[in-house]
Amino acid sequence: MGSGGSAAVTGFVPVADGVHVATSRQMSTTSTLLHDGRDALLVDPAWMPDELAAMAGSLERAGLRVIAGFSTHAHHDHLLWHPGLGDVPRYASPRTAELARTERGDLVESLGAGFPASLTELMGRVQGVEALPAAAIPSGFHPEVVVHDGHAPGHTAVWLPDQRVLIAGDMLSDEELPLPFWPDDLPAYLHALDVLAEHARTAEVVIPGHGRPGTDALARVDADRRFLETVARGGDPDDPRLANPGMPEVLEHLRQLMPR
């Protein structure tokens, strides 16, 4: 990749060559930008309407052309888009695309009544693919989609082997605890940690869907596995993330899930 991949984009922080991350004020939700100085792929753009508009303006001012989008999973805050980002293909795993279609009513409701209709209409308009098509990928990148069912059915990480960056979706967060979904995907979550560990071992950067990018991907895998194992034993986990808003409720959710 040429030096253009390191160009500054307002609102985004570079974490690797051509890989930039923006963090929303809402739940520390991340948006990941991959670009080569001209073309850009946008993963999980989020969250608030003014932030999405600012993101589109920043990319335009930087001279970047968005050629595609990608959603890591079928939750409302990871299926968003903005007209200023362009009428381009948006992709997801086949299961994510199916859920975005069949559960659209609930996803729209989750956005809240005040969410602009123009953005609500664009939410979740994704195509299911097993792999990103070449036309969706900026030069210098060879992204691999890593599909599992850990946090949601069809949840997808994106592994960038050239940059050694793991875009983890809503896993491996430094702020949020592991969150399997009711009623029966705890085994799927544990399997997902095993899947992600294969990439975390060589990753130089991990980008969670909520929280801060870090250089500690494998340590995050271990922390999540240790947390879940402690809860499974009926113990009281000693995890600093429990001090964050909403996390005690996550622990209680997990305690209910474990007997199943």
Q: What is the pLDDT of residue 182?
A: 67
> Do residues 135 and 128 lie in contact, with contact meaning Cβ atoms separated by under 8 Å?
no
CA–CA separation, 45 and 85 (whole Å): 10
What pTM did the predictor assign? 0.95
CA–CA separation, 16 and 190 (whole Å): 28
Instruction: Give the CA distances from residue 73 to residues 94, 144, 247, in Å, rounded to whole numbers and listed in that order.
Output: 10, 15, 21
Is pLDDT of 6 > 80?
no
Q: What is the pLDDT of residue 3?
A: 39
List pLDDT tens digits, range 199-254: 999 999 999 999 999 999 999 999 999 999 999 899 999 999 999 999 999 999 89
> Do residues 47 and 26 lie in contact, with contact meaning Cβ atoms separated by under 8 Å?
yes
Band of pLDDT at residue 10, cut at 50, 70 and 90: very high
- Hey, what CATH topology would domain 3-257 get? Metallo-beta-lactamase; Chain A (3.60.15)
List pLDDT tens digits, range 17-29: 999 999 999 999 9
Q: What is the pLDDT of residue 153?
A: 94
Average pLDDT, the chain: 94
Lowest mean pLDDT among 5-14, 64-73, 228-237: 5-14
Percent of the chain with pLDDT over 70: 95
List pLDDT tens digits, range 126-170: 999 999 999 999 999 999 999 999 999 999 999 999 999 999 999
Is pLDDT of 183 > 90?
no
Three-class SS of 80-110:
CCCHHHCCCCEEECHHHHHHHHHCHHHHHHH
The domain segmentation of the chain, as residue ranges, is 3-257
